[in-house]
Homo-oligomer: A and B are copies of this chain.
Amino acid sequence: MNAQQAYDQLVAHGRTSTDLASALNLLSWDQQVLLPPAAHAGRAEQIGALTAILHARATDPHIGQWLDACENSDLPRDGLSIEATNIREWRRDYDLAVKIPQDLAVALAQAASAGQRAWELAREENNFSAFAPHLQKMLDLSLEKAAAVGYAEEPYDALLDAFEPGETVSTIAPILDELRTATTAIINAVADAPAPQPLPAGPYPTTAQTRLLHQITVLLGLPESASRLDVSAHPFSTCIGRGDTRITVRFDETDFTKAFFGAAHETGHSLYSLGHCNNGVYGTPMGEPVSFAVHESQSRLWENQVARSQPFWEYALPLAATHFPQLADLEAEDIFRAVGAITPGLIRVDADETTYNQHIVLRFELELALVRGELEVDDLPQAWNEKSRNILGIIPPNDTAGVLQDVHWAAGDFGYFPTYSLGNVYAACLFEAAGKAIPNLSRHMAAGDFSSLRQWLTTTIYEKGRLLRPRDLITAATGSAPTAGPLIRHLQSRASCIYGI
């Protein structure tokens, strides 16, 4: 078999795995959106059966042989070609997959499944100690995984790298530190300023919200022919497969902005997904998202930089007012101010744009301490409450509103949280650069035209797939290495406009 034949085999193998992963995506989407209650046990087994097949395919020794043939040829000579990228990233995926022994992979999957169920119950019953053994188990297995995978400086790096290739504690800690200091200053500065006028009270009927969301997602660029909008308890988006990206929201009839910004956020994820799914490199690394932070940067950019901006509301307010007459007397600026209010609270997923990063700093510091062995699982609730007081200025009344509020650790996702803030950082870097690259972007937005922004993101981010490491991708797109600066400037500017500080 020559190198080209080996490459073709890798493409075919990858496409089939991607097709099978689509089935897995659908099983999971359906479970969160439609599944009859009696079917959950069966669904877990179906997901398990398909996961096992995908794991076996990812560690198929043929991949190693095909890669050897490719690597010992001229195919990867041009490091920035599609072929070189695919070969490099297949190698990364394969080496990572085979480094994790089958027993460990199964143990991780089973513990994650049991852990999430235990977490649900513990959260309902505000009972951390019932959850603690599961958390300990996930932590132990994650450390085992880190050891199997290997790392440059410390085990946390191995876990982080799985979500954010190339990043380490030493690269992200300074960014999060800078963000924490600047955010604290903003929050303190507005603490005594009068809060912006809240939006009119509801009701905002679900049917009218649904119609508005269909209009807005299409306006932002999500094609109706390749997407769905549904309802689920926990909003999310998923790319099932080619031409099939789905977003979910949760409606609150007293506050239309929850579903609205949720939909804008998930639309950002979906635009990025469709940017890969619909091109010819689908099923290979060049047709895949590069990292969790870059994915999050796309959702945050459309949610925060775009949909919370005043120019956006100059176009969107008349549209929203056709559905909700109580908005008819408002100005775009009123909405901009109301949805930019800074109100520190206990719950991450309800946090405003500014406070959000404080929640991430808190979690990053705690999970790093756990992984380093500097904090015991049993001491976690107390450590959480102390950090909550220090960073957010609030002590949770119970663990359900504190250490038990997120599922991530129960699922073994240590190293995931920082990608949220890194996503916010990247979103700000990209939007600042887009503003320089696209003349009159604000005027386009105020006219309901988002095509120039989408086009810029398509060429700088969507079409790049896994060509570059996330940090290098942002550098190439913006012309300079990513820093917290643009995000801090963005948050300061909004606080200044809204609170007059």
Output the nearest chain B residue to A17 by Cβ-Cβ distance: B49
Q: In the assembled complex, which residues on chain B have CB atoms less than 8 Å from the CB atom of A321? A: none
Q: In the assembled complex, which residues on chain B have CB atoms less than 8 Å from the CB atom of A40? A: 243
A480 contacts partner chain B, Cβ-Cβ < 8 Å: no
B19→A49 contact, CB < 8 A: yes
Q: In the assembled complex, which residues on chain B have CB atoms less than 8 Å from the CB atom of A226? A: 36-39
Of the candidates B19, B37, B225, which one forms a contact with A38 in the assembled complex, judged by CB atoms under 8 Å apart? B225
**Stretch touching chain B among A20-28, A174-182, A301-309, A463-471:** A20-28
Output the nearest chain B residue to A242 by Cβ-Cβ distance: B42
Q: With the chains together, A36 CA to B238 CA distance in Å?
A: 13
Output the nearest chain B residue to A49 by Cβ-Cβ distance: B19
Contact A228/B53 with A46-B241, A241-B46 known, Cβ cut-off 8 Å: no
Chain B: minimal CB distance from A17 (Å): 8
A314 contacts partner chain B, Cβ-Cβ < 8 Å: no
Chain B: minimal CB distance from A136 (Å): 30
Say whether chain A's binding surface is mostly helix, strand, loop, or mixed.
helix
Chain B: minimal CB distance from A273 (Å): 12
A78 contacts partner chain B, Cβ-Cβ < 8 Å: no
1/0 per position for A196-216, CB-CB distance to B under 8 A?
A: 000000000000000000000
A192 contacts partner chain B, Cβ-Cβ < 8 Å: no
A84 contacts partner chain B, Cβ-Cβ < 8 Å: no
1/0 per position for A239-260, CB-CB distance to B under 8 A?
A: 0111110000000000000000
Q: In the assembled complex, which residues on chain B have CB atoms less than 8 Å from the CB atom of A24? A: 23
Output the nearest chain B residue to A19 by Cβ-Cβ distance: B49
Q: In the assembled complex, which residues on chain B have CB atoms less than 8 Å from the CB atom of A39? A: 226, 240-244
A16→B49 contact, CB < 8 A: yes
A137 contacts partner chain B, Cβ-Cβ < 8 Å: no
Q: With the chains together, A224 CA to B45 CA distance in Å?
A: 21
B49→A243 contact, CB < 8 A: no
B42→A244 contact, CB < 8 A: yes
A497 contacts partner chain B, Cβ-Cβ < 8 Å: no
B241→A43 contact, CB < 8 A: yes
Could you give 24 example pairs across A and B, Cβ below 8 Å?
A15-B45, A16-B52, A19-B46, A20-B46, A20-B53, A22-B42, A22-B46, A23-B23, A23-B49, A26-B26, A34-B228, A36-B225, A38-B223, A38-B242, A38-B243, A38-B244, A39-B226, A39-B241, A40-B243, A41-B243, A42-B241, A42-B277, A46-B241, A53-B53
Q: Which 8 A-B pairs have the closest CB atoms?
A: A38-B243, A42-B242, A39-B244, A19-B49, A38-B226, A39-B243, A42-B241, A38-B225
Other than the given A23-B50, A36-B228, A37-B226, 6 more pairs (CB < 8 A) read A19-B49, A19-B50, A20-B53, A23-B26, A26-B27, A41-B242
